[in-house]
């Protein structure tokens, strides 16, 4: 009782100063700092990394696909599950959209985006359905579908590639378009981010995802539709991976059967680095998107800094480990603080 | 209405033969026997000596890594960094030998690297209290990144002939490669460890009820850490084997091996929630995947399809396991409404 009272008192007397302190403590702030340091250091070595039309464009464009993927994966991780199949879903969708263009050359770009997102959602539904039926961790099912989707993609594509000339001109134009100097794909990613963040923060079913992730048994006892929400989070993850696949096709214009390989690690890494705790129940899609921006920038900065791009995965791994250790330390400290407060008279 | 399937102990009221033969492990062994029989009749050349020889040689790394993986999964943990550790040990072995380190010493160093990698996993899981999945996703990326970072696109192809030949010897005309002797020894050691020692019993105890195990005096942290170290060490051994088998060191070796190992272990009857499983099922699980792959390869199916089938087997076995548990649950509780007592 006294704990709740104390919390209420504290909320009432929140000053601008402590709010500022809170903002500084947020994960997003430290990621932003790391991002700025990275960009400044790289720009110091090679100014064209930022100060050239191409450099500027890539700096904004590169994170777009990772952001969309990380947003989707964050939905699943918040419910204390994980989706390892997003890279394969993305590749399969990219190839699917390319093939659809070969079958229907006049397809409008909007249709391509809608069909791709829906197709990804369908693959996500398969994941979620299997997890719900088998009642096993999402990790086991999605490890399986990760290889099934990739295998299906390779089987379908063989050694063929889909080239830019086979896709619609308006589709490719969108992939390279800029509005007021900002790439259209980046704007799309930000719009998706804003909608997802609003949904998770304000809508009842979005809040329920956090409830399920923090205490699955309690959520079940409370009467939340746990299975439905889990299914929805996997559909969301698949749909975002599908959208990322369409964006990949629009941006690069060349799709081989290995498109999107390894992106699942980047997406999960981005979410975890951005403060979406792998133990579920906490984190935001904005944090996940910040994590994606940081990872995408590291990807493009490493070669400029003279580090071979092969090392990039090692950096991702080290960052994931660092982030989960930090999460754990913060959680333990928070718990201790709460206990100490309860002990006070 | 728990989301986690209820685990059951073997029913000691049943006669011994039922307890031995009516198990998940026996179902997999029967499925393996059936696969071998059907493939021998239907697939040309499947019954040849060379097929068996290649099957064992292809599956050797999976076989030895599946042993510690089974133990890790029985405690309820998981290690998805094993494939990356295979790649890391492969490139380290190549680099060490190429830089003039004697080959035998290089192998020892690589095994120590594997143990150290496993120790890193184990300490992060037990001392800092992080979920095994999260830790090993991180080290999966880290180990693979170091492996490909060290070698880049280059490969090392010069290794001592005496050692690479070791993977080629056959026991008489049986079609069984000589290295399988080594696997049988390892299997014996693991069977002893798991089924005949206090340590092995504590592995099951942790998986069945971690809190209860701790109260009965099981050192959970130590046990789980040792298992991760074993997984790392045997993955390094798998990496050494792969290097010798192909005579080449590359950074991308063992990519996706974690899927094959985990699929085989789950297929072999180890519960993904921990507490259940036995090694004869696991070995049968690996051999089943190997037999299916080699039969399909003989029919002319590509490696990608085999990956699809491995994935489907993984999903199918967990779905089947849950369905069986659900059916048993219905049978033992005929009136689900009467849960008040």
Q: Please provide the DSSP assignment of B223-251 as one string.
A: HHHHHHHHHHHHHHHHHHHHHHHHT-B-T
Is B67 contained in some domain? yes
Supply the mean pLDDT for chain A: 85
Is B161 contained in some domain? yes
Greatest mean pLDDT among B202-206, B274-278, B307-311 lies in B202-206
pLDDT in the model for residue B333: 65
Supply the mean pLDDT for chain B: 87
CATH code where residue B120 lies: 1.10.3470
> Which letter does DSSP use for residue B101 in this model?
-
Is A126 contained in some domain? yes
Is B292 contained in some domain? yes
Query: What is the rounded radius of gyration, in angstroms, for the C-alpha atoms of chain A?
Result: 21
pLDDT in the model for residue A279: 83
Residue B286, SS3 per DSSP: helix
pLDDT in the model for residue B111: 97
Q: Which residues of B touch A143 (CB under 8 A)?
A: 80, 258-259, 262, 311, 314
pLDDT in the model for residue A21: 66
Residue A275 gets the label, from left (phi > 0), alpha (psi -120 to 50) or beta, of left
Q: Which domain holds residue A295?
A: 27-312
Is A20 contained in some domain? no
pLDDT in the model for residue A3: 47
Place of tokens 């975890």: A272
Is B31 contained in some domain? no
Q: Which residues of A touch B130 (CB under 8 A)?
A: 324-325, 328
Is B58 contained in some domain? yes
pLDDT in the model for residue B308: 85
For B219-259, write each residue's pLDDT tens digit.
999 999 999 999 999 999 999 999 999 989 988 888 888 88
Is A254 contained in some domain? yes
Q: Which residues of A touch B127 (CB under 8 A)?
A: none
Q: Which domain holds residue B290?
A: 45-319
Is B206 contained in some domain? yes
Is A292 contained in some domain? yes
Residue A135, SS3 per DSSP: coil
Q: Residue A127: closest CA among chain B residues belongs to which residue?
A: B315
Nearest-angstrom CA–CA distance, A163 and A29 = 40
For B114-171, write each residue's pLDDT tens digit.
999 999 999 999 998 888 988 998 999 999 999 999 988 788 888 888 888 888 888 8
Separation in Å, CA of B169 to nearest CA in chain A: 33
Using CB atoms, pick whichever of A216, A308, A313 lies closest to residue B3: A216
Nearest-angstrom CA–CA distance, A288 and A69 = 9
pLDDT in the model for residue B2: 36
Is A331 contained in some domain? no
For A33-92, write each residue's pLDDT tens digit.
888 888 888 888 888 787 787 888 888 888 999 999 999 999 999 998 999 999 999 999
> Given an 8 Å threshold on Cβ–Cβ distance, is A130 in contact with B305?
no
pLDDT in the model for residue B44: 85
Residue A328 near residue B130, CB atoms below 8 Å: yes
Is B85 contained in some domain? yes
Evaluate if residue B51 carries a pLDDT over 50: yes
Alpha helices in A158-183 (DSSP H): 169-176
Q: Residue B262: closest CA among chain A residues belongs to which residue?
A: A140
> What end-to-end distance do the CA atoms of chain B give, in Å?
15
Using CB atoms, pick whichever of B78, B304, B319 lies closest to residue A151: B304
> Which letter does DSSP use for residue A124 in this model?
H
Separation in Å, CA of B250 to nearest CA in chain A: 13
Using CB atoms, pick whichever of B124, B272, B323 lies closest to residue A137: B272
Is A220 contained in some domain? yes
> Between B300 and B247, where is the model more confident?
B247
Nearest-angstrom CA–CA distance, B280 and B268 = 8
pLDDT in the model for residue A147: 87
Average pLDDT over residues B270-298: 89
Q: Which two tokens stand for residue A12?
A: 């009432």
| Least confident among B14-28, B193-207, B288-302 | B14-28
Tell how strand A182-183 and strand A178-179 pair up. antiparallel
Task: Indicate the number of domains in chain B.
Answer: 1
Is A87 contained in some domain? yes
> Given an 8 Å threshold on Cβ–Cβ distance, is B3 in contact with A151?
no
Count of alpha carbons within 13 angstroms of residue B10, beta-carbon side: 17
Q: pLDDT tier at B331 (50, 70, 90 boundaries)? A: confident
pLDDT in tens, chain A (345 residues): 444 554 444 544 556 666 666 666 677 788 888 888 888 888 888 887 877 878 888 888 889 999 999 999 999 999 989 999 999 999 999 999 988 888 888 788 888 899 999 999 999 999 999 998 888 888 889 988 998 998 888 888 877 888 888 888 888 888 888 888 889 899 999 999 999 999 999 998 889 999 998 888 898 888 888 888 999 999 999 999 999 999 999 988 888 888 888 888 889 989 988 888 888 888 899 999 999 999 898 888 888 888 877 888 888 899 889 888 888 888 888 888 888 888 775
Q: Which residues pair with A255 in a beta bridge?
A: A162
Is B341 contained in some domain? no
CATH code where residue A236 lies: 1.10.3470.10
pLDDT in the model for residue A96: 92
> Given an 8 Å threshold on Cβ–Cβ distance, is A144 in contact with B148?
no
Can you say whether the dihedral through the CA atoms of B271, B277, B280, B282 is positive or negative?
Answer: positive
Using CB atoms, pick whichever of B3, B305, B312 lies closest to residue A220: B3
pLDDT in the model for residue A20: 66
> Given an 8 Å threshold on Cβ–Cβ distance, is A317 in contact with B144?
yes
Using CB atoms, pick whichever of A143, A147, A317 lies closest to residue B141: A317
Is A266 contained in some domain? yes
Q: What are phi and psi of A262, to 5 degrees?
A: 85, -5
Q: Name the pTM for this structure.
A: 0.85
Task: Indicate the number of domains in chain A.
Answer: 1
Alpha helices in chain A (DSSP H): 2-12, 16-25, 27-45, 53-78, 86-103, 109-134, 138-157, 169-176, 184-202, 204-214, 216-222, 226-252, 263-273, 285-304, 312-343
Q: What are phi and psi of B188, to 5 degrees?
A: -55, -45
Please, what is the Cα angle at A14 between A12 and A15, to 5 degrees?
Answer: 135
Residue B76 near residue B273, CB atoms below 8 Å: yes
Place of tokens 């001592």: B160
């Amino acid at each position: 009782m006294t704990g709740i009272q104390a919390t209420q008192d504290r909320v009432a007397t929140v000053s601008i100063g402590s709010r500022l302190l809170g903002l500084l403590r947020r994960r997003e702030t430290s990621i932003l700092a790391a991002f700025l340091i990275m960009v400044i250091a790289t720009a110091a070595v090679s100014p064209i990394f930022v100060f050239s039309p191409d450099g500027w464009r890539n700096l904004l464009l590169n994170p777009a696909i990772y952001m969309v993927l990380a947003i989707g994966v964050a939905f699943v991780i918040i419910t204390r599950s994980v989706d390892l199949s997003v890279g394969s879903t993305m590749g399969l969708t990219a190839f699917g959209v390319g093939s659809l263009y070969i079958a229907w050359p006049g397809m409008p770009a909007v249709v391509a985006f809608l069909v791709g997102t829906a197709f990804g959602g369908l693959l996500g539904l398969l994941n979620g359905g299997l997890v719900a039926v088998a009642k096993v961790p999402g990790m086991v099912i999605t490890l399986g579908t990760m290889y099934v989707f990739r295998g299906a993609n390779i089987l379908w594509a063989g050694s063929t590639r889909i080239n830019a000339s086979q896709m619609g001109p308006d589709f490719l134009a969108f992939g390279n378009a800029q509005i007021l100097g900002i790439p259209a794909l980046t704007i799309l990613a930000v719009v998706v981010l804003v909608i997802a963040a609003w949904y998770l923060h304000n809508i009842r079913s979005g809040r329920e995802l956090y409830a399920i992730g923090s205490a699955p048994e309690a959520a079940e006892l409370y009467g939340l539709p746990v299975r439905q929400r889990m299914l929805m989070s996997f559909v969301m993850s698949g749909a975002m991976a599908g959208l990322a696949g369409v964006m990949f096709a629009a941006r690069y214009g060349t799709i081989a059967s290995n498109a999107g390989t390894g992106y699942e690690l980047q997406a999960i890494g981005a979410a975890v680095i951005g403060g979406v705790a792998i133990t579920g129940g906490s984190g935001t899609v904005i944090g996940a998107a910040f994590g994606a921006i940081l990872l995408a920038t590291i990807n493009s900065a490493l070669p400029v800094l003279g580090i071979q791009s092969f090392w990039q995965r090692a950096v991702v791994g080290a960052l994931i480990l660092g982030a989960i250790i930090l999460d754990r330390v913060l959680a333990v400290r928070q718990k201790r603080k709460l206990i100490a407060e309860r002990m006070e008279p | 209405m728990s989301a986690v399937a209820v685990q059951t102990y073997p029913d000691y009221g049943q006669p011994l033969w039922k307890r031995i033969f009516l198990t998940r492990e026996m179902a997999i062994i029967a499925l393996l026997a059936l696969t071998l029989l059907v493939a021998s009749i239907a697939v040309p050349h499947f019954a040849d000596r060379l097929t068996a020889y290649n099957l064992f040689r292809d599956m050797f790394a999976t076989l030895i890594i599946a042993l510690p993986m089974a133990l890790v999964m029985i405690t309820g943990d998981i290690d998805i960094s094993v494939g990356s550790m295979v790649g890391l040990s492969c490139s380290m072995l190549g680099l060490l030998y190429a830089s003039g380190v004697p080959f035998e010493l290089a192998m020892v160093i690589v095994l120590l690297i594997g143990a150290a990698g496993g120790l890193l996993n184990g300490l992060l899981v037990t001392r800092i209290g992080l979920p095994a999945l999260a830790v090993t996703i991180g080290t999966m990326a880290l180990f693979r990144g170091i492996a490909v970072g060290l070698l880049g696109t280059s490969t090392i192809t010069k290794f001592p002939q005496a050692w690479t030949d070791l993977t080629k010897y056959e026991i008489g005309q049986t079609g069984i490669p000589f290295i399988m002797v080594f696997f049988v020894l390892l299997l014996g050691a693991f069977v002893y460890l798991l089924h005949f020692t206090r340590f092995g019993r504590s592995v099951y105890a942790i998986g069945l009820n971690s809190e209860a195990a701790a109260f009965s005096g099981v050192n959970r942290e130590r046990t789980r850490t040792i298992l991760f170290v074993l997984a790392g060490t045997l993955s390094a051994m798998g990496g050494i084997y792969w290097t010798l088998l192909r005579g080449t060191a590359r950074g991308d070796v063992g990519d996706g091996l974690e899927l094959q190992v985990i699929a085989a272990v789950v297929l072999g009857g180890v519960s993904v929630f921990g507490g259940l499983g036995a090694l004869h099922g696991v070995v049968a699980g690996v051999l089943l995947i190997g037999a299916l792959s080699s039969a399909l390869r003989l029919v002319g199916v590509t490696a990608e399809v085999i990956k699809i089938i491995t994935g489907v087997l993984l999903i199918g076995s967990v779905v089947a396991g849950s369905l069986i548990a659900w059916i048993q649950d219905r049978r033992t509780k005929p009136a689900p409404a009467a849960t008040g007592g």
